[in-house]
Structure 1
Amino acid sequence: MTSADRSPAAETASTADIAELISRLDLPARVRLLTGGTTFTLAPEPVIGLGELRMSDGPTGVRGLKFAGGRQVALFPNATLLASAWSEDTAAEVGAMLAEEALAQEIHVVLGPTINLHRTALGGRLFEAYSEDPLLTGKLAAAYVRGMQGLGVAACLKHLVANESETDRNTVNSVVDEATLRELYLLPFEIAQADADAWSMMAAYNDINGVAATEQNHIVNEVVKGEWGYSGVIMSDWFATKTAAQAANGGLDLVMPGPDGPWGEALVAAVRDGRVAESVVDDHLTRVLRLAGRVGALGELRSYPADLPTPGSATRREQMTRLAAGGMTVLINRDEALPLSSLATVALIGRHAVETITMGGGSATVNPPYQVSAAQGLRELMGGSVTVTDGVEVRTRAVPARGGFLTDPVTGAPGVRFTLRDADGAVIEERLEAGATTLVGIDDEFDQVVITLDVEAVITGDGPIELGAIGVGSWTLQAGDQDISFTLRATGSIGEEMLAPPVQVETATVTAGSTLRGTVRLPRQTAITTDVQDGEDILVGGAVLGVVARPAPRPAADVIADAVAAARDAEVAVVVVGLTEEQETESVDKSTLALPGEQDAMVSAVAAAASRTVVVVNAATPILMPWLDEVDAVLWVGLPGQEAGHAIAAALLGVIEPAGRLVTTFPAADGASPAWAVEPVDGDLVYTEGTFIGYRGHWAQLAAPPAFWLGHGLGYGSWEYGEAALVPGQDTAVRVPVTNTSARPSREVVQLYFAPAETDQPVRLVGWQAVDVEPGAAADVTVTADARLWRRWDTENSGWTALSGTGELLVARGLGDVRARVTLQG
């Protein structure tokens, strides 16, 4: 990539230049530019040289301008897995890679990173966010922003703020005291803004202390734009804005999506009748135009490189495998069960082995060029010494057909052919969807309204199958001599038709080669609304529609018996278990940390039969492990992206060291954490634990000891720590020698925590430093504490005050393995 391609062609316009541009526009034209032009764009304005500004969701890949069914793009490991490297270099590399993915699609703004904290392990969207710790989250976010914006693509910090769960997310009121907001939930935003100057932020769906996040004068105007001096854009989450004057006065700069929304004529009227000052509109537009200038959409429009890696290129394959494997975390490893010998016979067991989960659900989903399962990856690395056995059912909710179970009757390619028709039955468009789903409404650019869709596919499997459909509408399906029909309805809540569409299945007996045909008639379509009028179904914005077809599930006892038989015949049983997008998704929280289905029973049965058992956990967030004492090793692999199977295999065999450290504390039982509930009471979700979330609360004995602490991870090395001491002349920097006592090169992450003497202040991570050390070698490691963790918020005086400095510095491999202590006298 040339230097000319690395940044916008135009220099960022000065405030005076922007003011002159704004003066050319009348009030309605100014206001029009403060609402999106389409779902993911801002409209151009030739009068001032403003080009179309394009945005894309981006937590695990830059999806592009379509919510579903768009172009193929690289699928990255999820945020918790990337964060588990505890590496700012890794975060910066990921930011730059995502910028390249954006540039390939001429995208100006990537909607990420997500930097809400892991307050409770039940949060459904935690897989998008880095960690439970504000310093770790903020420093990684800043590095990601630097990597991305260094190539002239804007990052967007989200979601501002106290947005740690999904239950009733459009209406919940997060009740958080000011000290907790400042010291914990705002801190990652403060760090990323101060250290990297992120060019945009996104206001959340929820209320904070009774005021909508999109109307938060205190947080947005007083803190972010005032105290922090933030010069960027604050945009709404999609459909989050409810008001005109209140939101504009509250500091919101940009309403998304468009072209419709609550501003427009209503905001013009609010200015003209004096409820909103015209200077407020001009400030919002100044920020939007500044953003456009920064990304090359104002004045001389930027050029785009033509030599970027493609999503399935060798470059991306190497990057994705290395990043995923390097963040994987060894939780236990008795008698060096890992890494596996390449000569061992291995029984690979589990539904997640054959259908490895590579990404979470909701707006983080992308259309990758391929997804490698654990079975494929391990077979490629170990050959015929691996047998593969399917596992127990892991879902309660049916998913679209996959793996070529349905194929196109025209081309024979995997997928379903959808024919979109208008009210007269005329064909609007034909689509072949490899994922057996299609999105109607939000991404369409048709003159006609889609009323019905015909579906057609060839069924490649025999025997009893589950057959059904996903998505709102009246369905009829026919396969062989089987006919089924039903109507699926949504509640009318915003986004349900896309994020959690209704589903229904029945069991049918078919033969391979049978043709599946069907039709779905959609509800009446209206503009985006949350109302259901006169009892009539209304399609809210857009709908995901899909066809379910797969072999009918077998009894769990039969599946477990097959797994046990396979385990007995191998030297090592590798059981892959985990969660799915039912638990790890936007719009839904978990109700338990237990594995779904009979996975725990399967692990225990295999462990009782196998000579050696390794469990691979394919989940982004904590799970319960009742079988922990029965198995020899546990490798946590997160949601590893498109190279999942190759990365898992590389980690299991030690081709790449799984040197990750946990970014979230794993509770030992449901409810055994300082913060747990996600269900609001009378609309309020009260953060009663204050700043004592996760490891902070466990250390203060506000909850039982966890199964694994934040920062835990064994890698494949073993370590001796020498005496730790303060660096001369510095009272917040510690030097400690570390020695790799293993026979393998390994990476260590030396963590520094501060336990203040103040009893109302929690222990907190204040710094870390990673080091790579050869076998038998030693390294002196210096860790310097971040000054922003050496303060507290004085509520009475509304300002920061320094901590006393009295207490202990803890040098640790996670707080469950403290290696040295340094007393501070203040």
Structure 2
Amino acid sequence: MTTDDLTALVKSLDLPAKVRLLTGASAFTLHPAPGIGLGELRFSDGPTGVRGLKFSGGRVVSLFPNATLLASTWDADVLHEVGALLAEEAMAQEIHVVLGPTINLHRSALGGRLFEAYSEDPLLTGKLAAAYVRGMQEKGIAACLKHLVANESETDRNTVDSVVDEATLHELYLLPFEIAALDGDAWSMMAAYNDVNGVAATEQDHVINSIVKDSWGWPGLVMSDWFATKTAAAAANGGLDLVMPGPDGPWGDALVAAVRSGAVSEAVVDDHLSRLLLLAQRVGALGAGRSWPSSLPLPDSPVRGAQLTRLAASGMTVLTNEADVLPLERSSRVAVIGRHAVETIDMGGGSAQVNPPYQVSVANGLTSLLGDGQTIVVDGVEVRTKPVPARDGFLVDPVTGADGIRVTLLDAGGAVLEERFCPRSTTMVGMDDDFPGTVASARLEGRVTVTGSVELGVLGVGDWTVSAAGRDESYSLVASGNGFGEEVLTPPLRTSRFSVSSGDVFTATVALTYHMGLFGLIGFNTPRDTVDVIDDAVRAAADADVAVVVVGLTEEQETESVDKSTLRLPGAQDALVEAVAGAARRTVVVVNAATPVLMPWLSRVDAVLWAGLPGQEGGHAVAAALLGDIEPAGRLVTTFPAADGAAPAWSVTPVDGKLPYTEGTFIGYRGHHAGRAPAPAFWLGHGLGYGKWEYSDASLRDDGTVTATVTNVGAHRSREVVQVYFRPVEPDEPVRLVGWAAATVDPGESARVTVSPDPRLWRKWDTGTASWTRLSGGGTFLVARGLGDIRATLVSTV
């Protein structure tokens, strides 16, 4: 269908019909228009798996490694494969648009949602995102670049005004979108919640119209983030094409009225709808429609498991490895220690969460490879300040006995609207509902499977009555008011201690005081004393050849809607590592986190493996990496500060509603290298893998192409990532990554590696002329394994 054909379809509709199509029909679908051959378009969140049309309680789907872990491969082919695999997950559910990748930058390590984003570097982010987009869209599933733009933190995210100078906006924060949109030909983008320089991201005529649509010539569709649109005329004139979700929203009759009053030209509405129809055509929802594959790998299939294990393990990063303690000897007796070892965190919180078929812990992964006789598994200290919904069979459905709870939804008259089984002990109300009527109350039930002193409780906004072991309690839970959407993303909770017997039924009823939210039952054993836990860990470590301590963050720190306040590990995890290191012959620490953490024990342990949030096969992937079955060849995608505050950009807390990006283009490694922050613990690009490398014969061509020979002088076949940075002679211009290339080399062998820099890194934004100009005066090329390990310096005067 040609552009003229799409224009004719648009012209065939009257104004109300056009406007109706520009707001969603439901939480994750768009209105069909059979008269013009437009079918229903179906969207799904998708950073770490294609969840489907339900925010909570949806179908079982594959849980992928998180974005920073995948990006740590520094491998466009890997991201292309991930895009293609996620397209398969989408096709299995007849989903047309996957809402990802997230390509905001790691400005401050405190950002709660960084686990969804690739890196602190715009070139690395853009190149990997473009590959992901191509892999997905080659199968006819649209990717959606998000969140446009300057959306690097979560505090007051729906009201914060990101104050960014024009050069920084172009050179840093828009660059990943430019690369992914133009090199990857992304079919859609999502406008963010925040304001940018005093204007809402959904009303950004400057960014959306002037830059993205006009200057870049990009023909795709810009949708709002969910509930982000605040206005009718301003958003429509500002370039926003589609309001999500629906069916309600600020457009509808208000936009029709704005057109009829002359505040919005009908040509603007026509352009929005033309872009929507182009998207529909591309994904097969316009005209004859598309056919969907009938046979695709299931989330729990061996083929999907092998793929996810390989992807996760290959992105893991060896940060330190004294005396080559890694890879572990298979004959070793291993003490596996830590809460993250037995309850490995495989995904972040918020809209990135999915319902996986299983999640493999590190303890189970190592035991499956080494055997029960070679592993000692010891739980660790508490890592959360808040309880989580009941899991691991603590509560079971009173009807079927399956792990989870039973939920009954009722209307204001007490009539049953729906009864549902919830395997994750939580349910969403008011967003995914597909029954007539409005939920007024709910009854949640779970049968307890343990005997003794336990904590039982509930989460969700409303007036609660709970009953267990012959005791009733009543209380109200209210939202704090500190965050947009907290009723869904971070609902309030409360627990009490009960003495129960196995088989007791825990029942909770809630009268809703808000029309939408996440509700669930909490249940867990009364926590043990920290001293006793550490004592058990020390004894196990002393009895083993090597102690593997697994520490990390949880969805309390790495989640949508909440930023971190520190990079310290929560709870007494640092004390646990110190105690184990003092007792063990050798100590390996596995960091189960997507973003930087402080490591005060670093000099007292033998090796550190950064494992990210590794997805449903996490434990198998960590085990494969520790034993060398798959090389953990990752390189860091963000710089690890040595202390809280020791970074070029730190605060994520607005002052008087504004968050100034005062560091300009000197974020992350750029600012550290310029002396604007102390030396980091680990630089972007750092990663040891299992090889050892010598560099030689580095050379530079006039066009900036760098060539070098790398020789693997280690004992293991390994993948090396040759990184090239450019340090301009111009004052106030930061060092920047301009390219990279990789080679996999056997021990004793060499490879010649060529790195072709991206020409977009030779330019700078001239605010006087509002245009690009070329860097002048030359500079120095740094051939490196991260800026903490520079192997060659090449000077250019061009």
Query: Structure 2 length normalisation: TM-score?
Result: 0.99
Corresponding position: 1:507 with 2:497: yes
**CA deviation map 1:382-409 (0-9, x unaligned):** 1120011000000001100010011112
Q: 1:696 to 1:42 in 2, by over 3 A?
A: same
Q: Is the 8 A contact 2:484 2:561 kept in 1?
A: no
Partner SS, residue 287 of structure 1: helix
- What is the match of residue 763 of structure 1? 735
2:459 to 457, 462, 470: 470
- What is the match of residue 781 of structure 2? 809
Paired positions, count: 796
Q: Give the AA of the match of 1:562.
A: D
Give the C-alpha shift of residue 462 in structure 1. 2.3
Return the alpha-carbon distance in structure 2 between the equivalents of residues 291 and 819 of structure 1. Answer: 47
Corresponding position: 1:218 with 2:192: no
Give the C-alpha shift of residue 210 in structure 1. 0.2
Give the C-alpha shift of residue 511 in structure 1. 2.2
Return the alpha-carbon distance in structure 2 between the equivalents of residues 483 and 630 of structure 1. Answer: 50
1:197 to 178, 185, 192: 185
- What is the match of residue 346 of structure 1? 334
1:402 to 391, 394, 403: 391
Q: Give the AA of the match of 2:236.
A: A
Q: Give the AA of the match of 1:545.
A: F
Give the C-alpha shift of residue 617 in structure 1. 0.2
Corresponding position: 1:670 with 2:670: no
Partner SS, residue 287 of structure 2: coil
- What is the match of residue 545 of structure 1? 519
Give the C-alpha shift of residue 805 in structure 1. 5.0
- What is the match of residue 391 of structure 1? 380
Q: Is the 8 A contact 1:292 1:298 kept in 2?
A: yes
Give the C-alpha shift of residue 518 in structure 1. 2.2
Return the alpha-carbon distance in structure 2 between the equivalents of residues 203 and 378 of structure 1. Answer: 43
Q: Give the AA of the match of 1:299.
A: G
Q: Superposed, which structure 2 residues align to 1:266-345 within 5 Å?
A: 266-345=254-333
Structure 1 unmatched ranges of 5 or more: 1-12, 524-537
Corresponding position: 1:577 with 2:566: no
Q: Is the 8 A contact 2:730 2:777 kept in 1?
A: no
Partner SS, residue 225 of structure 1: helix
Give the C-alpha shift of residue 491 in structure 1. 4.1
Q: Give the AA of the match of 1:488.
A: L
Q: Is the 8 A contact 1:392 1:599 kept in 2?
A: yes
Q: Is the 8 A contact 1:55 1:109 kept in 2?
A: yes
- What is the match of residue 606 of structure 2? 632
Give the C-alpha shift of residue 423 in structure 1. 2.0
Return the alpha-carbon distance in structure 2 between the equivalents of residues 281 and 735 of structure 1. Answer: 51
- What is the match of residue 749 of structure 2? 777
Q: Is the 8 A contact 1:712 1:816 kept in 2?
A: yes
Partner SS, residue 41 of structure 1: coil
Corresponding position: 1:824 with 2:796: yes
- What is the match of residue 596 of structure 1? 570
- What is the match of residue 240 of structure 1? 228
**CA deviation map 1:740-792 (0-9, x unaligned):** 11111100000000000012100000000011001110000011111000110
Give the C-alpha shift of residue 485 in structure 1. 2.3
Deviates more, 1:333-342 or 1:121-130: 333-342
Q: Is the 8 A contact 1:723 1:820 kept in 2?
A: no
1:693 to 650, 667, 685: 667
- What is the match of residue 799 of structure 1? 771
- What is the match of residue 171 of structure 2? 183
Partner SS, residue 183 of structure 2: helix
Give the C-alpha shift of residue 426 in structure 1. 2.2
Q: Is the 8 A contact 2:156 2:484 kept in 1?
A: no
Partner SS, residue 439 of structure 1: strand
Alpha-carbon RMSD: 0.9
- What is the match of residue 447 of structure 2? 458
Q: Give the AA of the match of 1:277.
A: S
2:403 to 399, 402, 414: 414
Q: Give the AA of the match of 1:35.
A: T
Q: Give the AA of the match of 2:292.
A: Y
Corresponding position: 1:479 with 2:468: yes
Give the C-alpha shift of residue 425 in structure 1. 2.1
Q: Is the 8 A contact 2:444 2:520 kept in 1?
A: no
**CA deviation map 1:78-134 (0-9, x unaligned):** 000000000000000000001110011110000000000000000000000000000
Give the C-alpha shift of residue 825 in structure 1. 1.4
Give the C-alpha shift of residue 694 in structure 1. 0.1
- What is the match of residue 265 of structure 1? 253
**CA deviation map 1:157-213 (0-9, x unaligned):** 000000000000000000000000000000000011110110000000000000000
Q: Superposed, which structure 2 residues align to 1:121-136 within 5 Å?
A: 121-136=109-124
What is the identity percentage for the equivalent residue pairs of Structure 1 and Structure 2? 69
Partner SS, residue 783 of structure 2: strand
Partner SS, residue 128 of structure 2: helix
Partner SS, residue 725 of structure 1: strand
Return the alpha-carbon distance in structure 2 between the equivalents of residues 423 and 258 of structure 1. Answer: 24
Q: Give the AA of the match of 1:434.
A: P
Return the alpha-carbon distance in structure 2 between the equivalents of residues 422 and 343 of structure 1. Answer: 61
Return the alpha-carbon distance in structure 1 between the equivalents of residues 123 and 530 of structure 2. Answer: 44
Q: Superposed, which structure 2 residues align to 1:424-435 within 5 Å?
A: 424-435=413-424
- What is the match of residue 80 of structure 1? 68
Partner SS, residue 214 of structure 1: helix
- What is the match of residue 741 of structure 1? 713
Corresponding position: 1:97 with 2:50: no
Q: Is the 8 A contact 1:85 1:659 kept in 2?
A: yes
Return the alpha-carbon distance in structure 1 between the equivalents of residues 657 and 508 of structure 2. Answer: 42
Q: Is the 8 A contact 1:88 1:140 kept in 2?
A: yes
Q: Give the AA of the match of 2:430.
A: G
Give the C-alpha shift of residue 481 in structure 1. 3.0
Return the alpha-carbon distance in structure 2 between the equivalents of residues 455 and 282 of structure 1. Answer: 48
Q: 1:378 to 1:411 in 2, by over 3 A?
A: same
Return the alpha-carbon distance in structure 1 between the equivalents of residues 401 and 777 of structure 2. Answer: 69
**CA deviation map 1:411-446 (0-9, x unaligned):** 211111111122222222211111110111111022
Q: Is the 8 A contact 1:199 1:233 kept in 2?
A: yes
Give the C-alpha shift of residue 642 in structure 1. 0.4
Give the C-alpha shift of residue 494 in structure 1. 3.9
Return the alpha-carbon distance in structure 2 between the equivalents of residues 428 and 146 of structure 1. Answer: 43
Return the alpha-carbon distance in structure 1 between the equivalents of residues 30 and 327 of structure 2. Answer: 51
Corresponding position: 1:621 with 2:588: no
Return the alpha-carbon distance in structure 2 between the equivalents of residues 445 and 146 of structure 1. Answer: 34
